[in-house]
């Protein structure tokens, strides 16, 4: 689908009744939240099994087509006869409505009161359509906004669909760079900067990991043919894909000048900075820094930070072979790559909006203790 059509379709979705939300990373900074990965895994795998039972996919269908169908059912919605990545996928809505899942804040399953957040007095898309501030949950030790689940499945579907559409004519790594580039363009426009004045690197990470999950359905042998149809023989574990770069309190977002001004003003008016346990934040980030970095997918990309490094280099030297670029980045970072260890060049390949740690925003309001 041409880029301008994607823009149009996503814009139309945003003007409909369903809206993606944003997370306020200050609300849950340093907070201990009970891990809900087991609940998510049960629901996610049950959904995949139900999809394959309700609409059996014959063995004559390729595994990749079967995986795309699963991702479409999990993460897409139909608008004007076109399936696009859902802004609020079923998994996200299920988590938000599930009272057994620990959330911050815990008193509103449909989004917290905007007056208590950095988005006061009201979070809107394009300054017109109201949307929600989503709660934070913990998945496999990582704090993340519930909207990341829709990025994981919805944008993951878009990434995988575009990858399959390009792989017949492009080298594999170039096809992957193209889908990352598409995600960057979306974040710079209708689902990020244009809509709410926020460029979220954590969204890009969730997008990319959703694509990896889709590809793993075949590459890791999770789908197999039994009784002449495709079946799930190995369960999906969301913990294989969640990492510290999903947490906007750690992998911070870029704000437009107008959004940045509003965020700072709201922090000054509220007690958010004063209520944060900054020692807890330091402990949490230290935990993130020691996160296992052993998982490397079959293309060699560890996470989207590394992919964006390759994207930045490819833009600087378009004539260099993608394999050579990958080797150069491997040598530069001496894999495994440290999370959040992005160079300014790499971030500028995505967005020119500045990013700051949370404590830098609060430092002008209170004295924030530094980690030891």
| Rounded Cα distance, 336 and 93, in Å | 34
pLDDT at 76: 82
CB burial class (10 A; 0-12, 13-18, 19+) of residue 35? middle
Report if residue 290 sits inside a domain: no
Best CA proximity match to 209, nearest among 306, 141, 288? 306
Quick check: 62 pLDDT over 90?
Answer: yes
Task: Give residue 255's pLDDT.
Answer: 95
Give CA–CA dist 50/202, Å, rounded: 30
Residue 185 located in a structural domain: yes
Residue 134 domain flag:
yes
The rounded percent of the chain whose pLDDT value lies above 70 is: 75
Residue 299 inside a domain? The answer is no
Residue 283 lies in a domain: no
Nearest to 158 by CA among 85, 92, 213: 85
Q: What pLDDT does residue 170 have?
A: 87
Q: What is the average per-residue pLDDT within 235-239?
A: 96
Please tell me the predicted confidence (pLDDT) of residue 268: 94
The pLDDT of residue 226 is 95
What CA–CA distance (Å, rounded) separates 285 from 296? 22
130 sits in which H/E element: strand 129-130
Is a pLDDT exceeding 70 seen at residue 121? yes
User: What value does the CA radius of gyration of the chain take, rounded to a whole number of Å?
Assistant: 20
Query: Is the pLDDT score of 112 beyond 60?
Result: no
pLDDT at 64: 98
Q: Is residue 212, in this structure, part of any structural domain at all?
A: yes
Structure tokens at 189: 């426009």
142 vs 302, which has greater pLDDT? 142
Q: What percent of the chain has pLDDT over 90?
A: 52
Residue 338 pLDDT class (50, 70, 90 cuts): very low
The C-alpha atoms of residue 125 and residue 198 are separated, in whole angstroms, by 11
Task: Give pLDDT, residue 337.
Answer: 43
Reading the block at residue 93, the tokens are: 């809505």
In a domain, 294, yes or no: no
Number of compact structural domains in the chain: 1
Domain that holds residue 110: 3-258
What DSSP character marks residue 151?
I
Any domain includes 306: no
For position 163, what pLDDT does the model report? 95
**What is the pLDDT confidence band of residue 173, given thresholds at 50, 70 and 90?**
confident
pLDDT at 285 over 80: yes
Q: Is the peptide bond before 254 cis (omega within 30 degrees of 0)?
A: no
Q: Say what the alpha-carbon torsion angle 167, 171, 177, 179 is, to the nearest 10 degrees.
A: -10
Position 81 scores a pLDDT of 59
With vertex at residue 285, the alpha carbon angle to CA 282 and CA 287, rounded to the nearest 5 degrees, is 110
340-343's contacts with Cβ under 8 Å and 24+ in sequence apart are 340/244, 340/245, 340/250, 340/251, 340/288, 340/305, 341/305, 342/201, 342/305, 342/308, 342/309, 343/309, 343/312
Q: What's the average model confidence in pLDDT over 11-19?
A: 49
């Amino acid at each position: 689908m041409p880029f301008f059509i994607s823009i149009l379709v996503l814009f139309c979705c945003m003007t409909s009744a369903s809206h993606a939300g944003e997370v306020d990373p200050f609300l849950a900074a340093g907070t201990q939240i009970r891990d809900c990965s087991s609940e998510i895994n049960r629901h996610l795998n049950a959904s995949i099994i139900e999809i394959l039972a309700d609409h059996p996919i014959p063995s004559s269908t390729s595994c990749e087509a079967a995986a795309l169908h699963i991702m479409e059912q999990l993460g897409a919605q139909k608008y004007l006869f076109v399936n696009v990545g859902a802004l609020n996928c079923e998994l996200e809505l299920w988590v938000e409505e599930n009272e057994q899942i620990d959330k911050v804040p815990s008193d509103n399953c449909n989004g917290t009161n905007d007056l208590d957040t950095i988005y006061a007095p009201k979070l809107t898309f394009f300054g017109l359509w109201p949307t929600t501030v989503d709660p934070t949950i913990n998945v496999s030790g990582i704090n993340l906004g519930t909207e990341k689940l829709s990025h994981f499945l919805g944008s993951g579907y878009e990434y995988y669909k575009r990858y399959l559409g390009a792989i017949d004519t492009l080298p594999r790594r170039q096809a992957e760079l193209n889908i990352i580039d598409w995600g960057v363009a979306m974040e710079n426009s209708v689902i990020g900067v244009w809509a709410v004045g926020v460029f979220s690197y954590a969204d890009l990470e969730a997008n990319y990991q959703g694509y990896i999950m889709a590809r793993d359905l075949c590459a890791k042998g999770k789908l197999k043919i039994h009784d002449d149809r495709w079946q799930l023989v190995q369960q999906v574990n969301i913990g294989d894909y969640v990492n510290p770069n999903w947490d906007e309190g750690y992998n911070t977002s870029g704000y437009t000048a107008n959004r940045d001004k509003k965020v700072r003003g709201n922090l000054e008016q509220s007690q958010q900075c004063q209520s944060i346990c900054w020692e807890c934040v330091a402990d949490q980030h230290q935990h993130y820094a020691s996160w296992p970095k052993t998982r490397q997918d079959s293309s060699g990309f560890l996470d989207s930070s590394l992919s964006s490094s390759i994207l930045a280099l490819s833009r600087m030297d378009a004539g260099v072979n993608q394999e050579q670029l990958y080797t150069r980045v491997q040598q530069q970072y001496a894999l495994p790559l440290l999370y959040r260890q992005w160079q300014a060049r790499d971030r500028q390949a995505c967005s020119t909006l500045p990013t700051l740690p949370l404590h830098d925003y609060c430092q002008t309001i209170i004295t924030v203790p530094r980690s030891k």
